[in-house]
Structure 1
Amino acid sequence: MNTHIPAALLAALFLAAPAVATSAADGGPAVAQPATPAIPTPAPTTPATTLRLTVTGPAQATTAPSPESTAAPAPAARTVTLHCDPAGGDHPRADAACADLDASQGRVDRESDTACILLYDPVEVRAEGVWRGRPVSFARQYGNTCELNARTGAVFAF
């Protein structure tokens, strides 16, 4: 049996083993530890936020219906895309909408103590997508635009 260990193997084992430092206070000579290279750690990333937001209503103000048309026209739907981290998309107030979502930890609707007029002019909203990696599916009808703005902040302000 060959008990001869190549010098390269000994050097590799020596470099891989943790160095033990002793000091003169311990009675031995001080041994310097080999420097370990710094491994860069990746910066923490925030999962993406992309929401498709739709507002339908309120109904357009109309005058008395004409004999040809007995029903008021349907309210038009408006849709935008909101990206956060960084804020963007075609939402006109993306920075404020992302800040509102961050403040509410991703909740689209939240409590409000704002007093709104009791005028029924319904507004329907929908939010679909992802907020910081969590799926979002939200739909609700509010009594009027004041109630919508008070409960959702800038999220549906477009």
Structure 2
Amino acid sequence: MNAHLPAALLAAPFLAAPVVGAVPPGATDAPTAPAPAPAPASASAFATALRLTVSGPAPATTAPSPDATVPSAPAARSVTLRCDPAGGDHPRVEAACADLDASQGRVERASDTACVLLYDPVEVHAEGVWRGRPVSFTRQYGNTCELNARTGAVFAF
């Protein structure tokens, strides 16, 4: 440490320190409002907000109907998922947020679930932020079983 630093620090308050309670000439001694406290760091800076989209078969089934026709896949459906605090229009918001927290924000995870080898493709997309980190995820799965096994509650809507 510099030997001259402590002496400079001790002398500094005496060089330009104002006298506490002194009123400059011409000023009134009326009380003034205290300066506003600095705003706390925004909690939303580390929040989660994702737009989730699923395109493909309906959650129930796309099995052939009794007249042997296969219903067409519905249009894409989307929801908003917010965590910290939980919100949005995702039907299983608490479970989806818990799945993202458990995987450190990764949408997809490893799974040893065995699914039927039925090709009924479903495509998913997630865009937004997880705890302040950008998220952009797009993947196609062979069927909804594979989707649910690999993404948990995140795309369960």
TM-score, length basis structure 1: 0.65
Aligned residue in 2 for 1:106:
105
Opposite residue 134 of structure 1, the aligned amino acid is: R
Could you tell me how far 1:145 is from its partner in structure 2? 0.8
Quick one: distance in 1 between partners of 2:73 and 2:120?
Answer: 13
Q: Is 1:61 paired with 2:55?
A: no
Q: What SS does the aligned partner of 1:91 have? A: coil
Could you tell me how far 1:47 is from its partner in structure 2? 0.6
Residues 115 and 47 of structure 1: is their aligned pair in 2 closer, same or farther, counting only changes over 3 Å?
Answer: same
Are the counterparts in 1 of residues 57 and 73 from structure 2 also a CA contact under 8 Å?
Answer: no
Aligned residue in 1 for 2:114:
115
RMSD of aligned alpha carbons: 2.9
Deviates more, 1:99-108 or 1:111-120: 111-120
Query: After superposition, where does 1:1-158 map in structure 2 within 5 Å?
Result: 45=43, 47-58=46-57, 60-63=62-65, 64=68, 73-158=72-157
Are the counterparts in 1 of residues 54 and 123 from structure 2 also a CA contact under 8 Å?
Answer: yes
Quick one: distance in 2 between partners of 1:155 and 1:105?
Answer: 13
Quick one: distance in 1 between partners of 2:97 and 2:137?
Answer: 16
Are the counterparts in 1 of residues 51 and 127 from structure 2 also a CA contact under 8 Å?
Answer: yes
Could you tell me how far 1:73 is from its partner in structure 2? 2.9
Quick one: distance in 2 between partners of 1:74 and 1:114?
Answer: 25
Aligned length in residues: 122
Could you tell me how far 1:78 is from its partner in structure 2? 1.2
TM-score, length basis structure 2: 0.66
Could you tell me how far 1:157 is from its partner in structure 2? 0.5
Are the counterparts in 1 of residues 110 and 150 from structure 2 also a CA contact under 8 Å?
Answer: yes
After superposing on structure 2, the runs of 4+ consecutive aligned residues of structure 1 that deviate more than 3 Å are 42-46, 59-65
Quick one: distance in 2 between partners of 1:86 and 1:54?
Answer: 21
Unmatched runs of 5 consecutive residues or more in structure 2: 1-13, 21-39
Quick one: distance in 2 between partners of 1:72 and 1:112?
Answer: 29
Residues 116 and 84 of structure 1: is their aligned pair in 2 closer, same or farther, counting only changes over 3 Å?
Answer: same
